[in-house]
Structure 1
Amino acid sequence: METSDAVATAKHSVVRSGLVFTKGQHEDGLFGRGTWKLRYVELTTDNVLQYYAAKGGSFTGQVDLAQCYGMEVMPLDCPQSGNRLTSVYRIAIKTTTKRRIVIAALSEQGMNAWVAALHSAVGPSLKAKSPQTSGSRFSIFRRVLRTL
């Protein structure tokens, strides 16, 4: 993406902004796991999610949410590695290009605010589905079995 495109998009009003963890598309490491990075993100009125290295920092990318069709608030009891720099308050967004965008808010309140902002900005095409969590590590399998 060219810098002029980023400047043109920046002219639109910002609906919500803040620090979130973003999961990289490129998979690193021995087992091909994606890396998490702390980014400053802005959601604009033209339904674009823009990523920056820091507030006022360099532009690192963007996602056109008009190309997205689903959003899911991920369960808190998902298995995860204890040594990753991230948060359990995650939102997954599906794109029409078969890409899955995952962001992790710093708090549950922040996650809920991002869900509300994404839903109000993009509208009904991004319907948040929030699976119920339970204390059991098998709750994910129970939810899957209920849908069959």
Structure 2
Amino acid sequence: MTLVKFNNGHRNAVNPFFSDVFQSLLNDTQVSDRFVTKTPAVNIAETENQFEIELAAPGLSKEDFKISIDKNVLSVSAEKKTENVEEGKKYSKKEYAYNSFVRSFTLPESADQSKIEAEYINGILTLKVSKKEEAKVQSREIAVK
């Protein structure tokens, strides 16, 4: 059985232009950007010696970030305020942009909270959380008797 989208041409029988205007307005990037909360995408990886957390946060500088740890919760926040001013003959146009986010991560018991490093390169904030020595996987060979 095949499903086919059926269009009788009755999209908006009263005024087809009316729905097109609202469709373009709601899909406008300037309108949608102001109403969407921007939370950076995160990649979390575990290696033998550490946990690595990568946050995609382009357009920021390392001074915009605040990284803190409370008990076993690692919090990363950023705040950036920009102001654009254009002056013309009889008008002044000011645009303010304020971007901020907070991401929190609960660290496992195996994480060594005293050994956390942060680095911001090319729009990616990388956090490296070392593991405690007793939590590291120790490999050894077992002899067969």
TM exceeds 0.5? no
**Which structure has more strand as a fraction of its residues?**
2
Normalised by the length of structure 2, the TM-score is 0.21
Normalised by the length of structure 1, the TM-score is 0.21
Give the number of the structure whose alpha-carbon radius of gyration is greater: 2
